């Protein structure tokens, strides 16, 4: 029997898939225009760096890009989170809670760069482009085949690490200020390779567990959380 094409559920399914792809493409195009507008406005106004000026007394340690280490056991994670919370209080900082969906580093960077964590796909895309085009800067820090590492980082939900943070600092010409839960390195500055940052991005890092976006206490903006986020 000759199969009949062009009718039935198969055709409807293909049509729905095409429609979904078109809608996704249109949304990405709309997002790109919005992101371009935000970046242009930021370039015009420039971040006044109030947070950085107020915390300029903090001593940072040299940053070494590295991939993700061991995830702490629950007891260590509890101690780490308490240590980070104490530092937030000491420094007068507050966290904008970011979704814990595997994209938290890129969402936190998107919040700092673009005032919207939902633009994390754009940030990841730019970071991957930096990794791909400047292999010589990062390959030595990656203990696996570099091509496989870059391919892995393209996937949504793949956790960012300190190599992607360095790539983000380089790509966006930003000083990334990381307040951590580490016992001996509570504050880390990640500088672009050229050493001339044009902006500051402030993140908290609950070590090997989660990133949030940082603001001065009382100045955390209101964001709509579409999915779950990490609350301890």
91-137 tens-digit pLDDT: 999 999 999 999 999 999 999 999 999 999 999 999 999 999 999 99
| Residue 221 counted as domain residue | no
| Residue 226 counted as domain residue | no
| Residue 227 counted as domain residue | no
Distance CA 16, CA 14 (A): 5
Looking at the predicted structure, is the pLDDT value of residue 87 above 80?
Answer: yes
| Residue 205 counted as domain residue | yes
At 65 the pLDDT is 72
**Both tokens of residue 96?**
């904008």
Higher pLDDT, 75 or 150: 150
Cα 30 from chain centroid (whole Å): 21
At 224 the pLDDT is 60
Residues 114, 22 share a domain: no
At 71 the pLDDT is 66
At 4 the pLDDT is 36
**Residue 93 · residue 195 · CB < 8 Å:** no
Out of 80, 104, 111, 161, which one is annotated catalytic? 104
At 207 the pLDDT is 86
pLDDT above 90: percentage of residues in the chain: 55
User: Can you give the pTM of this predicted structure?
Assistant: 0.75
Cα 63 from chain centroid (whole Å): 17
At 86 the pLDDT is 93
Residues 174, 81 share a domain: yes
Residues 188, 96 share a domain: yes
At 8 the pLDDT is 43
For the segment 179-208, the average pLDDT, to the nearest whole number, is: 90
Phi-psi bin for 122: left (phi > 0), alpha (psi -120 to 50), beta?
A: alpha
Give the domain CATH number at 91.
Answer: 3.90.70.80
Residues of the domain holding 73: 49-216
Task: Tell me, yes or no, if 210 is annotated catalytic.
Answer: yes
Length of the chain equals 232
Min mean pLDDT across 46-50, 60-64, 74-78 is at 46-50
For the segment 150-176, the average pLDDT, to the nearest whole number, is: 97
Mean pLDDT, all residues of the chain: 81
List, in sequence order, every residue forming a beta bridge with 210; answer none if it has no partner.
206
Cα 152 from chain centroid (whole Å): 15
Out of 81, 120, 162, 210, which one is annotated catalytic? 210
For the chain, what is the domain count? Answer: 2
Looking at the predicted structure, is the pLDDT value of residue 160 above 90?
Answer: yes
Task: Tell me, yes or no, if 177 is annotated catalytic.
Answer: no
List, in sequence order, every residue forming a beta bridge with 202; answer none if it has no partner.
177
* Residue 24, SS3 per DSSP: helix
Residues 142, 94 share a domain: yes
Out of 31, 63, 76, 101, which one is annotated catalytic? 101
Backbone angles phi, psi at 104, to 5 degrees: -60, -40
**Both tokens of residue 116?**
């919207």
Q: How confident is the model at residue 230 (pLDDT cuts 50, 70, 90)?
A: very low
Distance CA 99, CA 102 (A): 8
Backbone angles phi, psi at 204, to 5 degrees: -105, 150
**Both tokens of residue 195?**
């050493």
Distance CA 175, CA 114 (A): 15
* Residue 178, SS3 per DSSP: strand
At 77 the pLDDT is 74
Residues 97, 12 share a domain: no
Specify the pairing of strand 210-216 against strand 199-206. antiparallel
């Amino acid at each position: 029997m000759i199969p009949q094409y062009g009718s039935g559920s198969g055709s409807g399914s293909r049509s729905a898939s095409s429609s979904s792809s078109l809608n996704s493409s249109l949304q990405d195009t709309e997002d790109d225009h919005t992101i371009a507008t935000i970046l242009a406005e930021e370039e015009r106004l420039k971040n006044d760096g109030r947070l950085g000026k107020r915390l300029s007394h903090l001593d940072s340690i040299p940053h070494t890009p590295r991939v993700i280490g061991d995830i702490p056991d629950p007891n260590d994670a509890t101690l780490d989170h308490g240590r980070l919370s104490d530092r937030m209080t000491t420094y007068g900082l507050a966290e904008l809670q970011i979704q814990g969906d595997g994209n938290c580093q890129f969402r936190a960077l998107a919040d700092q760069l673009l005032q919207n964590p939902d633009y994390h796909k754009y940030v990841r895309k730019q970071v991957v482009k930096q990794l791909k085009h400047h292999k010589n800067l990062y390959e030595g820090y990656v203990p696996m085949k570099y091509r496989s590492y870059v391919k892995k980082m393209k996937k949504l939900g793949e956790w960012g690490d300190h190599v992607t943070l360095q790539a983000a600092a380089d790509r966006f010409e930003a000083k990334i200020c990381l307040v951590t839960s580490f016992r001996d390195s509570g504050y880390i500055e990640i500088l672009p390779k050229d050493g001339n940052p044009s902006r500051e991005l402030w993140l908290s890092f609950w070590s090997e567990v989660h990133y949030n976006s940082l603001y001065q206490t009382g100045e955390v903006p209101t964001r709509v959380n579409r999915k779950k986020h990490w609350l301890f």
